[in-house]
Amino acid sequence: MEAKAVPSVTFRDGRQMPLLGLGTFMASSEVVGQAVDAALETGYRHIDTAYLYGNEAAIGQTLKKWLDYGRLKREELFVVTKLPNTGNRAESVEKYMKKSLEALQLSYVDLYLVHSAVGYLEKENSSPFNRELDMSTDHISLWKAMEAQVDAGRARSIGLSNFNARQVKRIVQAARIPPANLQVELNVYFQQRELVAFCKALDVTVCAYAPLGSPAFPEFLSMFGNSLSDTPILSPLSDPVVAGVAEKHGRTPAQVLLRHVVQRGVVAIPKSSNPERIRENFQYVTSSRVPVQRPLLSRTMAYARKKARSSSVQLYSLLIIKQLYTIINKFY
């Protein structure tokens, strides 16, 4: 099936990752299949999911349909999933890798990420809302188990998510197969310039989740029984500077925000279940040659920092900051 070419970033091993993918965080099994269908119809080939999202099976059903009908070849897809933080032990990696592959109905994924630097104990009847930190998490032994997934052919490449610069460097220095990619929160309000530069120096590509900000963050936080009623939640999508640039170029704010990310050579995985928005997000990244005014947009970062912290920082401070103090010397 012919599709408009999507620009890509190249890993150190020569494999390529499309600069734009479909994010599926908080996309329920009931709607994610339709979203993946719409994305593949539009021309997306990069699909991002995770064991913790609980939607791998629904995504797998849609992918299988496309592959079985001959609408796509497996090598045309770039599928990413992630090791849950309850699996942050060497002996658990293969088990969770195989669970994800079974759900996705694939023999391999293109990129397998360690979802979080912080591990949780694996207990029966535990949930994302009631977990205990695993104080024995060892990033180096964990990474060796990740490398074994490449050796076994279950993952073409491996990487990290929500790791800081020191943690990334430690993995790179000890790795036989270095991380190909780091996935972190990144958007115009939280540009991660130092971390992106650091990863570039280590030949590690970067992928941005929440590239449009995080409109669903208050809903996500409410799942944990927390509220941000006293904390300003600013949306880049409604920022006046972003709106002005969008109007000038005849684009949507979302298209401008995505263009701002990918122009830096950072992969973006916006989440949407709306077919029209899925198409709009794809069009500007793949077809426009008009660069977004980066200096103008970058000024919004200073404005945002005065008003609100990033959603990930809010989440850590509200949910696990007390626990993190106990492991700061171990992980940081």
CATH number for the domain harbouring residue 179: 3.20.20.100
pLDDT of residue 199: 98
CA atoms within 13 A on the CB side of 140: 6
Mean pLDDT of all residues belonging to the chain: 86
Residue 3 forms part of a structural domain: no
Task: Please check whether residue 301 lies inside any domain of the structure.
Answer: yes
Task: Identify the pLDDT of residue 123.
Answer: 81
pLDDT at 321: 33
For residue 266, tell me if it sits in a domain.
Answer: yes
d(CA 223, CA 124): 20
In a domain, 5, yes or no: no
269 domain residue, yes or no: yes
First to last CA, the chain: 46
The alpha carbon of residue 136 and the mean position of all alpha carbons in its chain are separated, in whole angstroms, by: 25
pLDDT per residue as tens digits for the range 112-170? 999 999 999 988 766 655 678 999 999 999 999 999 999 999 999 999 999 999 999 99
Let me know if residue 239 belongs to a domain.
yes
pLDDT score at 226: 66
- Report the alpha-carbon distance of residue 47 to residue 177 in Å, rounded: 23
Could you give the residue numbers annotated as active site?
A: 53
Please write the tens of the pLDDT for every residue from 15-60.
999 999 999 998 999 999 999 999 999 999 999 999 999 999 999 9
Structural domain harbouring 302: 17-331
Contact 87, 126 (CB under 8 A): no
How many domains does one find in the chain?
1
| pTM of model > 0.95 | no
Asked if residue 67 is part of any domain, the answer here is: yes
pLDDT tens track for 166-223: 999 999 999 999 999 999 999 999 999 999 999 999 999 999 999 999 776 666 666 6
